[in-house]
Structure 1
Amino acid sequence: MIWYLIRRILMLVPVFLAVSVVIFSILHFIPGDPIDNLLKVGSSPQARVAMEARYGLDKPLPVQYGIWLSKVLQGDLGTAIVARRPVAELIAQALPHSLRLGGLALLFSTVVGVGLGVIAALSRDRWPDRAIMGGVLIGSTMPSFWLGLIFMLIFSVSLGWFPVSGARGWSSLVLPVLTIGLGGTALVARITRVSMIEASGRDFVTLLHAKGLSPLRIQLRHVLRHALIPVVTILALRIGWVLGGAVTVEVVFARPGLGTLLIKSLSQHDYPVVQACLLMLAMAVMLGTLLGDILQAVMDPRVRAALA
């Protein structure tokens, strides 16, 4: 198990390097640069050259990438060109908002998704099963930004139950959490249902029935435990995607967070901030994948036997 963990961590190194190259390259191929937001109208070409030299933008791209990567590996995310503040400070202010939103959305999708999946599996091919699967299918096809606007129109504008935007108090989290969490709920519910139905056909379930255990106890205590293995793996993989989904939802609800910081920095072509935000999101996906593999190995004896 220890060697498996070390091997999985080492596998993330080339992935991290490849992602860093992609992030750095794409930003510099986009037309425009942060100097456009710093220079005054009518500034001379000499002023632009001096400004580019000041921020190291006059060097070749491979050299700029090497300098940036070396600083990142040392824990230095650089200084925002437009905001003129340390990037780490900007992210430290924005990240807690995104983590709170993403964490609550993941918790919501886990609890509600597993609950709906269990109900659907226990009532297989009956009307509760069809209703739940139809509902989660509709929920999974709705874009998060559109769903957020609908929620805002109904529950904020029409009913006045929740704030339209901002981050004042827990009530302002309800609609964003629902917006992000519903897509995950659909996925978790489908996987839970399929896993429980598959686990119900295994030999150990027949043995439990032969011992005289009640069907409900067998389903909730034994079948569900086996069915949660793929669910936990999927939830770990969704950690990074939940943070990524928070980017769009934060903009829709005008919430402070990593998404708002990323969009604002993109409009200003503030390279250090955008690179750091994208790198944080990519690392969240990679760490979520690693966590999913580890949890699967811990929970599934077959995986542990294969690693032994």
Structure 2
Amino acid sequence: MTRYLLRRILQAVFVLWAAFTVSFVILYLLPGDAVSAKLGGGEAGLSVTPEQLAAAKAEYGLDDPLPLQYGKRLLAALQGDFGRSIATGDDATNMVVSALPPTLAVTGFALVLAILFGGGIAFAGTLTRHRWLGNLLLALPPLGISLPPFWVGLLLVQFFSFQLRLLPALGSNGFESLILPAITLAIPTGAIIGQVLAKSLRTQLAEPYAEIALAKGASRSRVHFGHLLRNAAVPTLTIAGVVAGNLIAGSVITETVFSRDGLGRVTSSAVTAQDIPVVQAVIVLAALVFVVINLLVDLVYPLLDPRIRHRETADA
């Protein structure tokens, strides 16, 4: 188990390093830079001399050779320091960390709704004895996956906010403001979870042990929850770890649609301004959330299926 955990931790460290390195290369290959955009400012008649531009770039370390910039930023990032925002001058790490709680509130609520939505549809669709009802329920996850989140968000605002006037359309005040953004994120996420879980349950339902349990008189619900769920949970847990990590990325669109404070707004502003320190802090944070979730998933695997632990031991 120790080797299993150590291997997963080393993989997580490699993913974080790769996220930092790839984002660094891509951001510096983009045309233009944040310093020029900031000094240009878009103001009529504003002129900047080459000396002023060079001094501003030197202040942010952008005049160093690219390998030297990479080495300095990597060493600083290992200490949690991503530099100062070029657009605002604030500490990039503090900007991202302070914007994280509202985003975690939405994504956490969305994940709970997604599990309830996806799991409920998968169990109801495979548990019912009415084939037409099962087919109808199991057609919902592919539909949910195909719906663009921004379109779903606009529809929810139009119906629940403007027509029924039940929930606020914009803002970050109170629990009510979480509901529509969380539903917007939960629909595609729950649809993926439901589709994978339904497929796994149907596969397990066709196995001999399930048929034997049913033949002995066990109810379908008992077979589902007592026998099938444990085996069907492994592939579902895998995809749940992936989509849970992707919720951070989905929050960028959702928070923009609902005008919420959070990581999405910070990311949108930083990308528009080509604010490299802030963008890199967001990317590494998203990668960190992703690897932590998947590391937890990897640790749960052996608890659900001891054969995974045995395979890891044999491979070692």
Which band: TM-score by shorter chain?
over 0.9
The amino acid of 2:312's aligned partner reads: L
- Counterpart of 2:173? 168
- Counterpart of 1:234? 239
Cα distance in 1 for residues equivalent to 2:133 and 2:118: 14
- Counterpart of 2:305? 300
Identify the range of structure 1 (279-288 vs 91-100) with the bigger mean alpha-carbon deviation: 279-288
Cα distance in 1 for residues equivalent to 2:196 and 2:86: 45
- Counterpart of 1:185? 190
- Identity over aligned residues, as a percent? 34
The equivalent position to 2:257 in structure 1, one of 243, 248, 252, is 252
Tell me: CA distance 1:213–1:134, structure 2 relative to 1, closer, same or farther (3 Å).
closer
Cα distance in 2 for residues equivalent to 1:179 and 1:116: 17
Tell me if structure 2 keeps the 8 A contact 1:233–1:295.
no
Q: With the length of structure 1 as denominator, give the TM-score of the two structures.
A: 0.94
Tell me if structure 2 keeps the 8 A contact 1:102–1:243.
yes
Cα distance in 2 for residues equivalent to 1:172 and 1:303: 42
- Counterpart of 1:33? 33
- Counterpart of 1:20? 20
Tell me if structure 2 keeps the 8 A contact 1:238–1:288.
no
| Residue aligned with 2:209, SS | helix
- Counterpart of 1:200? 205
Cα distance in 1 for residues equivalent to 2:129 and 2:142: 16
Following superposition, the deviation at residue 124 of structure 1 comes to 6.2
Tell me if structure 2 keeps the 8 A contact 1:188–1:231.
yes
Identify the range of structure 1 (88-97 vs 279-288) with the bigger mean alpha-carbon deviation: 279-288
Cα distance in 2 for residues equivalent to 1:261 and 1:94: 7
Following superposition, the deviation at residue 239 of structure 1 comes to 2.0
Tell me if structure 2 keeps the 8 A contact 1:230–1:296.
no
- Counterpart of 1:9? 9
The amino acid of 1:213's aligned partner reads: A
The amino acid of 1:29's aligned partner reads: L
Cα distance in 1 for residues equivalent to 2:312 and 2:274: 46
The amino acid of 1:31's aligned partner reads: P
| Residue aligned with 1:39, SS | helix
Tell me: CA distance 1:77–1:124, structure 2 relative to 1, closer, same or farther (3 Å).
farther
The equivalent position to 2:229 in structure 1, one of 224, 237, 251, is 224
The amino acid of 2:296's aligned partner reads: L
The answer to whether the aligner puts 1:56 opposite 2:61 as a matched pair is yes
Cα distance in 2 for residues equivalent to 1:75 and 1:124: 55
Identify the range of structure 1 (10-19 vs 257-266) with the bigger mean alpha-carbon deviation: 10-19
Gapped regions of structure 2 (runs ≥ 5): 41-45
Following superposition, the deviation at residue 176 of structure 1 comes to 0.6
Following superposition, the deviation at residue 37 of structure 1 comes to 3.8
Aligned residues: 308
Matches within 5 A, 1:72-87: 72-87=77-92
Q: With the length of structure 2 as denominator, give the TM-score of the two structures.
A: 0.92
Cα distance in 1 for residues equivalent to 2:189 and 2:255: 17
Cα distance in 2 for residues equivalent to 1:7 and 1:86: 34
| Residue aligned with 2:39, SS | coil
Following superposition, the deviation at residue 125 of structure 1 comes to 6.7
Tell me: CA distance 1:207–1:126, structure 2 relative to 1, closer, same or farther (3 Å).
closer
| Residue aligned with 1:160, SS | coil
**1:22-76 Cα shifts (integer Å, max 9, x gaps):** 1011111222212124326112111111111111111111111111110011122
Q: Considering only aligned residues, what root-mean-square deviation do their CA atoms show, in Å?
A: 1.7
Cα distance in 2 for residues equivalent to 1:22 and 1:215: 49
Following superposition, the deviation at residue 282 of structure 1 comes to 2.0
Following superposition, the deviation at residue 250 of structure 1 comes to 0.8
Following superposition, the deviation at residue 299 of structure 1 comes to 1.1
The answer to whether the aligner puts 1:286 opposite 2:302 as a matched pair is no
| Residue aligned with 1:265, SS | helix
Following superposition, the deviation at residue 86 of structure 1 comes to 1.1
Cα distance in 2 for residues equivalent to 1:282 and 1:107: 21
**1:186-232 Cα shifts (integer Å, max 9, x gaps):** 11111221111221233332443454433332222222232222222
Cα distance in 1 for residues equivalent to 2:96 and 2:47: 33
The answer to whether the aligner puts 1:116 opposite 2:116 as a matched pair is no
- Counterpart of 2:275? 270
The answer to whether the aligner puts 1:67 opposite 2:72 as a matched pair is yes
- Counterpart of 2:145? 140
The amino acid of 2:47's aligned partner reads: G
Cα distance in 2 for residues equivalent to 1:159 and 1:31: 46
The amino acid of 1:13's aligned partner reads: V
Tell me if structure 2 keeps the 8 A contact 1:237–1:292.
no
Following superposition, the deviation at residue 263 of structure 1 comes to 0.7
